[in-house]
Amino acid sequence: MYIQRLDHSKATDSSIVVRRDQTPQNHNSWHYHDELELIYIRKGKGTFFVGDCIQSFSDQFMVLIGSNSPHYWLFDDAYLAEQAVQQADIQVVHFKADFCGVSFLSLPEAQPIKQLYKRAERAIVLSNEDGQLLSFFDNLAKQSLLSRLSSLLSTLSYLAERPSLSLLVSEDYTNPQQQDDYKRMNKILEHIRLHYKTKIQLEEVAQLAGMTPNSFCRYFKQKTGKSLIPFVNELRIAFACKMLTETDATIKQICFDCGFQNFVSFHKIFKSLTAATPLHYRDAARQASA
């Protein structure tokens, strides 16, 4: 499965594309597109990959993703099986930066939105308790095409005026632009996704990429902003966080189930990435849901 370059503008005569579906498989692939993506996962759980970030998501997750930012929604198996135990509910809006016209971003009034687009290249996590954003998604289905256009512009203006926004992708991340890079990175990331619960060998991944280990290390660091092992460990910790909040498995069992071979290393890496011990993380999650 190669990273796909999608073109949502061909799907409709409208300047923006609005979709709501219950098929997470539509999002379960490495892809990028010219359009920005404003997405609201009303119901669904899994792991979100964007740039160099690995982020767990659950119900009511909302994010604005910039143009040509590679991303991937890995929904949990419960949402992907033919007889799915859980049903996802996904609302997504795709729009090009110049959806209001080719000269739109050159207008002085549009400069805050232009800056918002730049920040969105690092993926902006939005508050699922923000009444204006929730109203935007709630009203999309019943709006006329013109009203949708106006509503999107108003929402972007609102976000551009926010004093602080939470960004997921690090500043030093380099977005690969060549198609060959996407194909190669897809093979690497797909291998990691399938095997992160077991020991991943640098030599094996380098061979998959058609590189020597030294060349691969430089390449992977350039494209993701991280070395291979820290990247894999982030994915493992994301899985561990899900297990801590959603199961009653012991912490030691979770350590080995998510791919760590050593409990001390698991504990140390978990705390460095979450600022909490596994036990404190589980206690806090349970208190928050009580």
Is the predicted pLDDT of residue 214 greater than 60, yes or no? yes
Q: What is the distance between the alpha carbons of residues 236 and 171, in angstroms, rounded to a whole number?
A: 23
Q: How confident is the model at residue 166 (pLDDT cuts 50, 70, 90)?
A: very high
Say what the pLDDT of residue 23 is: 79
Residue 127 CB coordination number (10 Å):
14
**pLDDT above 90: percentage of residues in the chain:** 54
Q: Is residue 96 classed exposed, middle or buried when 0-12, 13-18 and 19+ CB atoms within 10 A define those classes?
A: middle
Tens digits of residue pLDDT in 18-48: 999 887 776 666 778 899 999 999 999 888 9
Name the architecture of domain 179-289: Orthogonal Bundle (1.10)
Q: Start-end ranges of CATH 1.10.10.60 in the chain? A: 179-289
Q: Start-end ranges of CATH 2.60.120.10 in the chain? A: 4-167
Tens digits of residue pLDDT in 223-265: 777 899 999 999 999 999 989 998 999 999 999 999 999 999 9
Tens digits of residue pLDDT in 112-148: 999 999 999 999 999 888 899 999 999 988 899 999 9
Write the CATH number of the domain with boundaries 4-167: 2.60.120.10
Say what the pLDDT of residue 151 is: 95
Q: What pairing do the DSSP bridges indicate for beta strands 71-75 and 89-95?
A: unpaired
Tell me the average pLDDT across 163-176.
84
Asked if residues 250 and 282 have their Cβ atoms less than 8 Å apart, the reply is no
Q: Angle, nearest 10°, between helix axes 111-120 and 145-160?
A: 80
Tens digits of residue pLDDT in 45-76: 888 988 888 888 989 999 999 998 888 888 88
